[in-house]
Homo-oligomer: A and B are copies of this chain.
């Protein structure tokens, strides 16, 4: 009989908040209970998602469960769960024999993805134009300003531009008021993220004077006018221009 000594296990879960004053009623206790229950697997998933969306993981790059587990300071299990989820969304792919890697999109796959984005995100833009509030318009305008500032800086702040561009688009999609639609678009962005942002990093010239700023301006104007057709057109122009640039410059196989 070997007495299983249990070495210290790292506890990343923060303990629950101390209860409110015992003298007072349970007023504050009603609002807790949710959040704060984040699983390690979810944390790793969020981390990998961020890495993919921001293009820090290049297409074709191979991942090792043990390596990322060690890098993130967790065991292999949460990483397995995260990779399973992302692989289900085709944001990662597991080769039959060996290794998990960031998928490399062929040219035709990229075109197909772009066409789907035009349909889905175009629809979201229409709905957003119908339901957008003044506060939401202001938020989009704020992200647009941040994007222009990052693009006009010298040298252009590519990482800030990527973040601002994403925030702008998703502020728009949130305005549509359809949660599952936003989640669907997030999946699409996760698949397209690696090439899109990898390209933006390598070609910062596209930012200033590019078509993105004029498309964003047209989008903002369409939102202010509550014009669904114009909003869709502005977004379609934005996506199309970016996709065309990618197709010209990025080395897509096939």
A: residues with CB less than 8 A from B are 2, 34, 37, 41, 45, 80-81, 84-90, 96-97, 109, 112-113, 115-116, 119-120, 123, 178-181, 183-184, 191
Contacts of A184 in B (CB 8 A): 116, 184
Extra 19 A-B pairs, beta carbons < 8 Å, given A112-B179, A112-B180: A2-B2, A41-B84, A81-B84, A84-B84, A85-B85, A85-B87, A86-B88, A88-B88, A88-B89, A90-B183, A109-B180, A113-B180, A116-B180, A116-B181, A116-B184, A119-B119, A119-B123, A120-B120, A180-B191
A112 contact from B81, B88, B116, B181, Cβ within 8 A = B181
Main secondary structure of the interface of A (DSSP, over half): helix
Contacts of A2 in B (CB 8 A): 2
A37 contact from B81, B89, B96, B181, Cβ within 8 A = B96
Contacts of A97 in B (CB 8 A): 37
A96-B180 in contact (CB<8A): no
Chosen A-B contacts, 11 in total, with CB atoms closer than 8 Å, are: A81-B81, A84-B88, A85-B87, A85-B88, A112-B178, A112-B179, A116-B180, A116-B181, A119-B119, A119-B120, A120-B120
